[in-house]
Amino acid sequence: MAKNYAKEQRRLEKAREKEREHQAAQAPVVPIIGSANAVTTPPPRHNRTPPMPCQPLRATPEQARARFALERIQTLRNAWADQIKEQKEFNSHASAMPFMIRANGLGQTAAFYRSKADKPAYQKLYQLLGDWLAKSEQPFAGTADLLEAITQSDQDAYLAAQIEALLFLDWVKKLASAFLAREDQVDAAEGVAS
C-alpha cells in the first residue's frame, strides 16, 4: 500500500512539473529594461488598468449621513459651549430616539418630539431628523416639516423614511456621544458625576 502511495505521488509530481514547463513555454517573455543581467520575466497576469488619479469620489450614503450629522453636532456643540445641561439632554434623547422609532414608529416618535419642542434638545433632534429626511435623494425630499411629510406620504415612502431615520440617528447618537457632554461625565462646576 505504501509503495503504491509513493509511486502515485511521484507520478503526480512529474505531471505537475510537465504542466509548469508547458505553461512556461507558452507565456511570452518580456525583458526587464535597464537591468544589469537583462533577466526576462513573464508579463503580469492581470489586465487591470491603474485608477485615474483625478477621478472625483462620490460619498457613500453612510458618509453622507455621517458628514451631515457631524456638521450639525459640531454646530450644536459650539452653540451650547457653556450649556452642559442641554448637551447632556440632547445626548440622552439622541440615544433614546432610535429605540422609540423601533417601538412606536417614526410618526409617533416625531409627534412626541414635536410636542416637546419647548425643550431645546427635543426641538433640535426633531429639526435635525426632519432636515435630513427632507434633503434631496431622501424619502421626504423638499418637504418643510417632518410630520407633514409623514402624513402626506405613501406607505413605501414612510417605511423608507423610517429605515433612513434609524440609519441616520445611529450616526447622530455616536457623534453626540463623541462631541457633546454625556450624563456619565463629571460636571466641572459641581465636581461630581451627574
Q: Give the domain CATH number at 119.
A: 1.10.520.30
For residue 33, give the C-alpha cell. Answer: 529594461
Query: Quick check: 179 pLDDT over 90?
Result: yes
Judge whether residue 68 has pLDDT over 50: yes
Percent residues over pLDDT 90 in the chain: 60
CB 76 within 8 A of CB 180: yes
Q: What does the pLDDT look like over 12-43, one tens digit per residue?
A: 778 777 777 766 666 555 555 555 555 555 55
Residue 37 lies inside a defined structural domain of this protein:
no
**Is pLDDT larger for residue 111 or for residue 45?**
111
Q: How many domains does the chain have?
A: 1
Per the domain annotation, does 148 fall within a domain? Answer: yes
Phi, psi of 169, rounded to the nearest 5 degrees = -65, -25
The answer as to whether 22 is a domain residue is no
Is there a domain that residue 92 lies in? yes
pLDDT at 49: 61
pLDDT at 194: 45
pTM: 0.67
* Top-confidence residue, 194 or 41: 41
**pLDDT score, position 18:** 78
Q: How far is CA 108 from CA 105, 132, 141, 165, 176, in A?
A: 6, 18, 20, 13, 23
For 126-166, write each residue's pLDDT tens digit: 999 999 999 999 999 999 999 999 999 999 999 999 999 99
Q: Is residue 55 part of a domain?
A: no
Does some domain include residue 126? yes
The neighbouring-strand residues paired with 186 are 193
Range of the domain at 140: 61-182
112, burial (CB in 10 Å: exposed 0-12, middle 13-18, buried 19+): middle
